[in-house]
Amino acid sequence: MFNLKVCVIGGAGYIGSHAVYELIRDGHEVVVIDNLSTGLREMVHKDAKFYLGDITKKGELSSIFKKECEKKPFDVVMHFAAKLIVPESLDQPLEYYHNNVEGVRIMLEVMTEFNIKNVVFSSTAAVYGEPVKNICEEEDPTIPVNPYGETKLASEKLIKWVCKKYNMNYCIFRYFNVAGADETLEIGLKKDNLTHLIPVAIQAALGLREKMIIFGDDYDTRDGSCIRDYIHVSDLAYAHVLGAKYIYENNKSLLVNLGSNKGFTVKEVVKEVEKYIKVPYEIGPRRPGDPAQIVASNKKAKEILGWEPKRGLSDMIKSDMEFRKKNS
Ligand code: UDP
């Protein structure tokens, strides 16, 4: 057992806040930096130190690093501070490149100035673009089809080049679909205008929205609706603890998908929610840009990190439902 000092940039957001909880459970020291543009101060674990700061402003980031690293340098920096809404990225490409790519560039510049050697980066299945086969592997072609995916791929490449030049290590995780809430129900997905399937179905079930729409049931899948690979946010967050320890201990980089190897259709997800409460829904037209199936191979994550999801779809639904009941 060893303790790392970890800087979590974007630690007040949905996935970042869960990573902070898992790091603290594993005994690490955590410093959170967040500009609270979408994150919430109340989502930051009470044992983490919090700084309000924006990584696209170098002065702000440098002064936080100076203060913290004088005492004890960070062992690892984790980045969760990206904008991540696909339609918004099409509408605001300049803002997306600025926040997502320039933010990473400045973070890396500051890391090199303070001689910090390890970076863990949240990336996405969106870097692959249209799937080329049923189960997506890390070596598949990366041809993003929207600015969000492009900015994540550009950041991945920037991280790789900088790590090569400055003898640093990276751990890049490509996420698929994420849902659920921490078992304490202190944190979860709390946002206005939610668009993701699981929280939308639960909001409809709880009467927090009138109904939900299933976007298309004429796809070439087992029941006509789209197939996705869903991971519980706490499993995903725990992978970051393993990834951070792996690159720190082995002085090596890695890039892995975080998925479950299996997919559920939209209708199967709705049926699972209906085990608890009825979901008012209608079948609507396809949503533009939705591939029929996206499922991740998790072979590499298993082999290298010994990681695989411990929780299933029903755990995601139950925890999100409890969190939503508590917060509505
Ligand atoms: N979906 C749906 N109705 C909704 C939200 C999502 O039918 O209100 C479908 C969507 O078309 C996709 C799947 O659910 O096939 C997962 O969508 P989500 O937005 O949660 O994540 P994505 O896979 O787009 O990242």
Find the mean pLDDT for residues 237-251.
98
- Helix, strand or coil for residue 218? coil
Question: What contacts 312, CB < 8 A, 6 or more positions away?
Answer: 232
Cα 17 to Cα 10: distance, rounded to the nearest angstrom? 8
267 lines ligand 1 (CB under 6 A): no
At 148-158, the pLDDT tens digits run 999 999 999 99
Q: Name residue 121's beta-bridge partners.
A: 79, 172
Side by side, the strands of the sheet bearing 135-136 are 135-136, 293-296, 227-228, 264-265
Cα 80 to Cα 236: distance, rounded to the nearest angstrom? 13
pTM: 0.97
pLDDT band at residue 28 using 50, 70 and 90 as cut-offs:
very high
Ranges of each domain in the chain: 5-179+231-258, 197-229+261-327
Cα 4 to Cα 77: distance, rounded to the nearest angstrom? 10
**Cβ–Cβ under 8 Å, residues 279 and 273:** yes
In this model, does residue 2 exceed pLDDT 80? no
Nearest-CA residue for ligand 1 atom 10 is 215
Cα 268-139-83 angle, rounded to 5 deg: 65
Cα 205 to Cα 108: distance, rounded to the nearest angstrom? 44
Query: From the CA atom positions of the chain, what is the Rg in Å?
Result: 19
Question: What contacts 70, CB < 8 A, 6 or more positions away?
Answer: none
Range list of H helices, 92-196: 93-96, 103-113, 147-165
Q: What is the mean pLDDT of the chain?
A: 96
Task: Choose which residue among 84, 136, 266 to substitute to test ligand 1 binding: the one with the highest number of ligand atoms within 8 A of its C-beta.
Answer: 266
- Which pLDDT score, from 0 to 100, does residue 192 have? 81
- Helix, strand or coil for residue 164? helix
Residue 225 CA, closest ligand 1 atom number: 15
In this model, does residue 22 exceed pLDDT 70? yes
Closest CA to 328 of 160, 188, 211, 121: 188
Architecture of domain 197-229+261-327: Alpha-Beta Complex (3.90)
To which residue do tokens 């939308």 refer? 200
At 117-160, the pLDDT tens digits run 999 999 999 999 988 999 999 999 999 999 999 999 999 999 99
Closest CA to 12 of 35, 37, 40: 40
Task: Choose which residue among 122, 128, 215 to substitute to test ligand 1 binding: the one with the highest number of ligand atoms within 8 A of its C-beta.
Answer: 215
Name the percent of the chain in helix, strand, coil, to the closest 5: 40, 20, 40
pLDDT band at residue 296 using 50, 70 and 90 as cut-offs:
very high
Q: Is domain 5-179+231-258 annotated with CATH 1.10.287.130?
A: no
Cα 144 to Cα 141: distance, rounded to the nearest angstrom? 9
Gap from CA of 198 to ligand 1 centroid (Å): 8
Task: Choose which residue among 197, 217, 229 to substitute to test ligand 1 binding: the one with the highest number of ligand atoms within 8 A of its C-beta.
Answer: 197
In this model, does residue 181 exceed pLDDT 90? yes
- Which pLDDT score, from 0 to 100, does residue 213 have? 98
Find the mean pLDDT for residues 290-303.
95
84 lines ligand 1 (CB under 6 A): no
- Which pLDDT score, from 0 to 100, does residue 191 have? 85
Residue 198 CA, closest ligand 1 atom number: 20
Range list of H helices, 123-229: 147-165, 197-205
- Which pLDDT score, from 0 to 100, does residue 130 have? 87
Question: What contacts 92, CB < 8 A, 6 or more positions away?
Answer: none
Residue type, 175: Y
Gap from CA of 266 to ligand 1 centroid (Å): 7
**Cβ–Cβ under 8 Å, residues 43 and 190:** yes
Catalytic residue positions, numbered? 148
pLDDT band at residue 72 using 50, 70 and 90 as cut-offs:
very high
320 CB-contact burial (10 Å; exposed 0-12 / middle 13-18 / buried 19+): buried
Cα 229 to Cα 179: distance, rounded to the nearest angstrom? 10
To which residue do tokens 């690293």 refer? 69
Read off the tokens for 90: 């099409």
215 lines ligand 1 (CB under 6 A): yes
Q: Name residue 32's beta-bridge partners.
A: 8, 50
Read off the tokens for 59: 């002065």
Percent of residues, the chain, with pLDDT higher than 70: 100
124 lines ligand 1 (CB under 6 A): no
Residue type, 309: P
pLDDT band at residue 328 using 50, 70 and 90 as cut-offs:
confident
- Which pLDDT score, from 0 to 100, does residue 1 have? 63
